[in-house]
Amino acid sequence: MVAPVLFLLAGLTIRESQTLVRSGCDAGDAVVANLRAGTPVEIRFRLADGSDCVKIAANDGVNEVVGYVSSSALDGLETFEKGRTSAHSVDSAPERQTLVLSVNGPPNRGHNTDLERARALLAANQPEEALEILEPAVVRYHNNPGVLLLAGLAAYRSDQLDAALGYWKQSLDLSPNPSLEGMYERVKREVSADPANQRLVGMRILLRYDRDAVPVDAARAILGTLDQEYGRISIDLGCSTSERIVAIVMNRQTYLQSTGAAEWSGGWFDGRIHISWNGEKTVGPDMRRGLAHELVHACLTSIPAGESQWPAWLQEGLAQKLSGDRLDTATRMQLQKMIQAHQAPRLEELHPDWSRMNPQQARFAYNLSLAAADALADLYPGEGLRNVLRNPEKLDQVTAELDKKLGF
């Protein structure tokens, strides 16, 4: 599963006082909170089934609240969606809220060029090189919150969490930003919860792990598997990396605490790979598939996607297919029935926020994406997939072909 790193924007808020937050989308579902007008909210996901129901997270002044409201209850949603679909991003991560990165560059044309270069390097999964550009920019423009924000992101992606927190703290002191504050607090929790401080270095991977949870022999096996699988995947997709990909392995509880990932997830990519270790002494078939899945996300991050991101269905479909997942006959038949009955969204209608789906919603989205990846392989065999990824401007046409092949 892939997670968005950070795309900063003005936050969404509750439109009217006495807005009821419910445990589900139906009017009869239990009320979990009553929010006042102006309460900042974070979108967890927006259903694509026509109900226009939105899952949010907020603070009612006493407790953290997670529940469902109608989109009409939110101020700023239209701007949010417009920015989400049109903004340049620094990461191809599609699954949580995709917020608009808005970095106000300093009044110097040459530095703006450097800033764009740093953005491009982050988009190509080269955060260390991006940080080399941004570190002198921070010294020169130490009062610019946007430059500090971007430097923190590069540090975070480079697995330099203390440095990231330092840059973000300076940015927040200069210019309060609810989205950045949320990321800042999440990374603070990660630092406090993550005991993975042992390192192993491979050809393409830097592995960080908790030696109390992962025996050294298992860590070496994980590193070897990651290097091997990346070699295979890079041939299939046509990606490459000039910097080692950071992979962090921890026990299940620490994984959930440090990432905030959904309960049903076993892996998380946010520019770094996070893996929930199953406690075994070696890498079994299921763990190999999980490692390969996250490596596909890392691989796709380094392939330019044009003016937008690689869509969620493509990311997750390819991650499943190239890690060896298969749809059984019963699942395919169920998908076909839903498509024929107009009960399923087209690929382009799948909302990018998957990380907060419930298990049933997630299962459907992943199954449809895997079916699309299978159809993609049929339509574009051999080198065809690499050609699709080399020409992102043709993806709309490819998506329409897949919709037709799937029966929409």
Let me know whether 207 and 295 are in one domain. yes
Instruction: Provide the CATH number for the domain around residue 126.
Output: 1.25.40.10
Let me know whether 150 and 202 are in one domain. no
Domain that holds residue 32: 12-85
Give the angle 350-351-354 at the CA atoms, nearest 5°: 105
Instruction: Provide the CATH number for the domain around residue 251.
Output: 3.30.2010.30
Instruction: Provide the CATH number for the domain around residue 50.
Output: 2.30.30.40
Helix (H, G, I), strand (E, B) or coil at 377: helix
* Position with higher pLDDT, 79 vs 141: 141
List pLDDT tens digits, range 217-239.
999 999 999 999 999 999 999 98
Let me know whether 118 and 143 are in one domain. yes
pLDDT of res. 62: 80
List pLDDT tens digits, range 22-65.
988 878 888 999 998 888 887 766 654 456 788 788 887 788 88
Q: Which of 147, 167, 193 is the last residue of a domain?
A: 193
Which of the four pLDDT bands, split at 50, 70 and 90, describes residue 3? very low
Residue 262 is assigned to a structural domain of this protein: yes
Let me know whether 244 and 257 are in one domain. yes
Let me know whether 184 and 202 are in one domain. no
DSSP 41-72: EEEEEE--SSS-EEEEEEE-SSSEEEEEEEGG
- Pairing, β 245-250 against β 205-209: parallel
Let me know whether 234 and 297 are in one domain. yes
Residue 98 is assigned to a structural domain of this protein: no
Q: Which of 109-113, 361-365, 399-403 has the highest mean pLDDT?
A: 399-403
Let me know whether 224 and 282 are in one domain. yes
Percentage, residues of the chain above pLDDT 70: 84
Percentage, residues of the chain above pLDDT 90: 37
Let me know whether 337 and 320 are in one domain. yes
Residue 255 is assigned to a structural domain of this protein: yes
Let me know whether 329 and 360 are in one domain. yes
Which of the four pLDDT bands, split at 50, 70 and 90, describes residue 163? very high
Quick one: which of 185, 190, 209, 189 has its CA closest to 199? 209
Residue 138 is assigned to a structural domain of this protein: yes
Residue 392 is assigned to a structural domain of this protein: yes
Let me know whether 232 and 179 are in one domain. no
- Is 0.85 surpassed by the pTM of this model? no
Q: Which of 270, 301, 332 is the last residue of a domain?
A: 301
pLDDT of res. 400: 93
CB 100 within 8 A of CB 87: yes
Residue identified by tokens 């795309």 is 7
Let me know whether 183 and 224 are in one domain. no
Mean pLDDT lowest for which of 8-17, 206-215, 371-380? 8-17
Q: Which of 85, 101, 118 is the last residue of a domain?
A: 85
Let me know whether 217 and 297 are in one domain. yes
Domain count of the fold of the chain = 4
**Where does residue 146 fall: left (phi above 0), alpha (psi -120 to 50 degrees), or beta otherwise?**
alpha
Residue 95 is assigned to a structural domain of this protein: no
Output phi, psi for 245, to 5 deg. -80, 130
End-to-end, the C-alpha distance of the chain in Å comes to 26
